[in-house]
A and B are shown apart, each in its own frame.
Chain A
């Protein structure tokens, strides 16, 4: 599988994220010769355990995430960050969970936007919106280098591409910047060859940041 870096937008202290920033980012991609290809969508769900018996809530994992990815329409990914677990399952696991009535959805988020092609690179720009509403909670980007599938060999290429991207974006003087946090994949039992499980772990990792951003949005609104 091709290498992917997932980035999220970190607004400056005191500012929030809005659709204006999203437009600027999209325009910036097109200004570095990105060719718009199509739409993409991923989803992320926070699960809450349904506690029936006298079982202490502490036994259940605090952050239990379920993720769907556009490049694997038949798979469903589970990530428990606290215990460094990532699991790839078939799509019908959601139906099974429904039947078992073991977990229910606490928060569900959509990541959706446009996909751009720049030679051997592929960029995705997406907004983060809760499933039921239209309010923008955050901005994510996926940066992909197609010819390679080894994390180690592609690191320098993606670093330089990230630098070029930051440079292009800084000309627009936006109140914030994109951050890349590399999770420790080996802790999750993942190897150097990139897979969709790596993507799922990256999304789970940035969730903490996104939640902080969203809370800041709430605070500003209130």
Chain B
């Protein structure tokens, strides 16, 4: 600190401002301001160190007080520490105010013209003090100091924790492990039937296709998807012919369904869910063959081309909105950490079959003007909290009427009508 002050003061012209007791920075020359600011920063650092020590001492006193042989010594210690802590904090507040006024904690003085080429020291958001707010130094110092500080902070914290709360260390581990066991047991009990029923990904997908009418499921290896996306471009016109000639569509569908078996289970990376004439959803799995989805996107059934993939966006606003909402839903399902992420996600996607026919559960209309985007949209939000996929074992026994009522339970909402809790 002394070395920094000397060259600055020798470079100063005789325009020595008033003494340090006057805090008006407008009268002091820049070098003096810089020196004063550096002084204050070092004082602040000293105070912070004192406060840290005080906190340590308080913890020690509490620790000692918890020991079996009680005496008044810890009590005295605590009272003494409390008084000195209060003083330190008060001083820190004063210095902080001074620093704020002199512009050290923000960049308000950067643009001052008569700064003689000197800049006020800047306290970066991560706590590093940069004497000269040059951009390169800023970046370098902030980065390096952030790493160091984090390491030191972590070390200090773990030391204290180990010292004052030794029982927590082991307890924390066993506690979390037992929690995991419990939750996984619950999972196993409730999903045992379902997990047993579809042992493999392909079984699950063919079961899904049978369970949900109008749904077509296709699987692809990762590199095969591009071919399919391009073929969608050209088949956009043919799809009309396909749908009118029921027989050939079925037979070509059988061919495609055959690919569900042809693509080896461990290579399945892309799942395409298609409700003809409603939408097409692309789900990608990572790693290939595992039941872990990592992205999902919705498209119009007529869209095709290289932008149609699980991280792409449709050209139509309605499907863009659904894709964004689906990203949130996927994060939610992944965050639940159950074994049935893919199961829940695919069933949730299937709830969009009624996208263009089901009215909003809040306002009762199909189309609504979304105020944010000034677009007319159908209900594009489907709730994903507390979403339970339909029980597959009971689907064969359900009559069609109960099936309809179960789909009504999921509800649909416009962007503006979506309740926050759902």
A residues neighboring B (CB under 8 Å): 1, 32-33, 118-121, 146-150, 152-154, 156-157, 160-161, 164, 191-193, 195
Contact = CB atoms under 8 A, between A and B. Distances in A.
Interface string B249-273: 0000000000000000000000000
Nearest to B303: A147
Contacts of B373: 119
Given A147-B314, A148-B300, A193-B277, 20 more contacts: A1-B240, A33-B369, A118-B376, A120-B317, A120-B375, A120-B376, A146-B316, A147-B302, A147-B319, A148-B356, A149-B302, A153-B278, A154-B356, A156-B356, A156-B366, A157-B378, A164-B367, A191-B244, A193-B240, A193-B244
B318 interface: yes
B210 to A, nearest CB: 22
Contacts of B365: 160
A152 B244 CA distance: 13
A207 B343 CA distance: 53
Contacts of A1: 240
Contacts of B243: 191-193
Contact of B367 (A149, A152, A161, A191): A161
Given A119-B317, A157-B366, A157-B378, A149 B356 contact: no
A193 B240 CA distance: 5
Nearest to B244: A191
Given A120-B375, A149-B277, A157 B367 contact: yes
B376 A149 contact: no
Interface residues of B, number: 27
Given A120-B316, A120-B317, A148-B277, A164 B376 contact: yes
Interface of B is mostly: loop
Contacts of A147: 300, 302, 314, 316, 318-319
Contacts of A192: 243-244, 277
Contacts, number: 71
Nearest to A146: B316
A121 B370 CA distance: 14
Nearest to B236: A149
A149 B317 CA distance: 16
B141 interface: no
Contacts of A157: 356, 366-367, 378
Contacts of A121: 376
In the A-B complex, list the 4 residue pairs whose CB atoms are closest, starting with the nearest. Answer: A193-B240, A119-B375, A150-B277, A160-B367
Contacts of B277: 148-150, 152-153, 192-193
A161 B314 CA distance: 22
A121 B366 CA distance: 14
B357 interface: yes
B308 to A, nearest CB: 13
A91 B121 CA distance: 77
B374 interface: yes
Interface string B100-130: 0000000000000000000000000000000
B383 interface: no
Nearest to B302: A149
Contact of A193 (B239, B367, B378): B239
A118 B375 CA distance: 7
Contacts of B239: 149, 193
Contact of B376 (A119, A150, A154, A191): A119
